[in-house]
Amino acid sequence: MDTEHELQATVRAMVQEGKGILAADESLPTISKRFAPFGIESTEESRRSYRSLLFSTPGMEDCVSGVILFEETLRQRDDAGRLLPELLSSKGVVPGVKVDRGTIPLSHSPGDKITEGLDGLAARLRQYRSEGAKFAKWREVYGIGAKNPSALAVLANAEVLARYAAICQEEGIVPIVEPEVLIDGEHDMGRCLDVTEAVLHAVFHALERHKVVLEHIVLKPSMVLPGKDFGEKASPEEVAEATVRVLRRAVPAAVPSINFLSGGQGPEEATANLNAMNALFPGQPWALSFSYGRALQQPALAAWAGRRENAGKMQQAFLRRAQLNGLARRGSYLSGMEKE
Ligand code: 13P
| pLDDT tens per residue across span 210-242 | 999 999 999 999 999 999 999 999 999 999 999
pLDDT of 21 strictly over 90: yes
Nearest CA to ligand 1 atom 10: 139
Run of H or E including 299:
helix 294-304
Q: Which candidate in 98, 134, 137, 220 is catalytic? A: 220
Number of domains in the chain: 1
Residue 95 covered by a domain: yes
Q: Could you list the residue range(s) of the whole structural domain that residue 203 is in? A: 3-334
Q: Which of 152, 151, 141, 153 is nearest to 184 (CA)?
A: 141
218 Cα: distance to centroid of ligand 1 (angstroms): 14
* Ligand 1 atom having least distance to the Cα of 68: 8
What are the tens digits of pLDDT across the range 48-92? Answer: 999 999 999 999 999 999 999 999 999 999 999 999 999 999 999
Identify whether the C-beta of residue 64 lies closer than 8 Å to the C-beta of residue 300. Answer: no
pTM score of the predicted model: 0.98
Distance CA 92, CA 84 (A): 13
**Res 283: pLDDT:** 97
Residue 56 covered by a domain: yes
Distance CA 87, CA 275 (A): 30
Residue 64 belongs to a domain with what CATH number? 3.20.20.70
**Res 112: pLDDT:** 98
CA distances to 163, 216, 233, 235 from 170, rounded to whole Å, are 11, 11, 42, 41
CB of 263 within 6 A of ligand 1: the answer is yes
Distance CA 28, CA 40 (A): 13
Residue 339 covered by a domain: no
pLDDT of 292 strictly over 90: yes
* Ligand 1 atom having least distance to the Cα of 23: 8
Nearest CA to ligand 1 atom 5: 293
What are the tens digits of pLDDT across the range 143-201? Answer: 999 999 999 999 999 999 999 999 999 999 999 999 999 999 999 999 999 999 999 99
Residue 140 covered by a domain: yes
Distance CA 120, CA 124 (A): 6
Identify whether the C-beta of residue 125 lies closer than 8 Å to the C-beta of residue 141. Answer: no
Known active-site residue 220:
yes
Query: In the chain, what percentage of residues exceed pLDDT 70?
Result: 100
Distance CA 75, CA 83 (A): 6
Residue 161 covered by a domain: yes
CB of 154 within 6 A of ligand 1: the answer is no
